[in-house]
Structure 1
């Protein structure tokens, strides 16, 4: 999915550059680039937590005994889940606002709440990723590889 978004961004930016050089810019390319980039960033935030790749810092944990490393797990889990809950709440409010106000994209004329959905959806992916770490990869949270 991320690869497709990168290809879409590359295509939109290329069309934008060629259009400007030809003195005939396509206004939809700016909006397309923005939408694809937002989707890619939020997808990356949510998916980056699948194997503890985003928030895990093990250099200092490895210096401590196992009992302290086990506590370190909760210094990863609790703030991460708290962040994703906040992100879900804020994203949900954004989607409701966009839906209520009937916000539309300027060039594509698509409902902006469809774009806004990526925020609460990535929060759900992030929470599922943290849960996956706890259940399937607990050794990663203890400072192991």
Structure 2
């Protein structure tokens, strides 16, 4: 069960990071496109700005699971270093439950926000619903849940281990 969940985590975290990297490429390409159309051609493309924002939002929410998986999102370094192994495990559980609580709130309200935003259209892209922009919160949150639980099962603290 543990190895199956960790395999699922490797797959989902890798997928989320690949999409996040792609979103960075999209934002960068659209940024260059926007600069060229605005300042060289003097014909600004108003749709590119909203797509840059949306791709950056998706990039952030799909990049967060990797940070959670690496144990870099919530870190109590000093307390963790000074604690005996049993207390460290308790700290792992406390951090995991706190992170899962926060992510549950983000998933819940993100989904609610996405549904409410489905009647709103994007500025510059009137035919596209804001649902697709707001959907980044619950989707990223679901990827985070897997990374948080995987970090509890198999903790990775690369920055802690190299600092000692």
Q: Normalising by structure 1, what TM-score?
A: 0.86
Is 1:16 paired with 2:23? no
Does structure 2 retain, via aligned residues, the 8 Å contact 1:47–1:125?
no
How many angstroms apart in 2 are the aligned matches of 1:2 and 1:70?
Answer: 31
2:123 to 106, 131, 137: 106
Structure 2 matches for 1:1-145, cutoff 5 A?
1-22=19-40, 23-99=42-118, 102-108=119-125, 109-135=127-153, 137-138=154-155, 140=157
Deviations 1:92-124 (A, max 9, x none): 11012112xx11112223111111111011111
How many angstroms apart in 1 are the aligned matches of 2:39 and 2:115?
Answer: 40
Q: Which of 22-31 and 48-57 deviates more? A: 48-57
Equivalenced residue count is: 140
Q: Which has the higher strand share?
A: 2
Q: Structure 1 runs of 4+ off > 4 angstroms? A: none
How many angstroms apart in 1 are the aligned matches of 2:22 and 2:34?
Answer: 18
**Unaligned 5+ residue runs, structure 1?**
none
Query: Would the alpha carbon gap of residues 98 and 139 (structure 1) be closer, same or farther in structure 2, given more than 3 Å must change?
Result: closer
How many angstroms apart in 2 are the aligned matches of 1:139 and 1:113?
Answer: 35
Q: Which has the higher helix share?
A: 2
How many angstroms apart in 2 are the aligned matches of 1:123 and 1:139?
Answer: 20
Task: Calculate the aligned-residue CA RMSD, in Å.
Answer: 1.9
SS of 2:77's equivalent in the other structure is coil
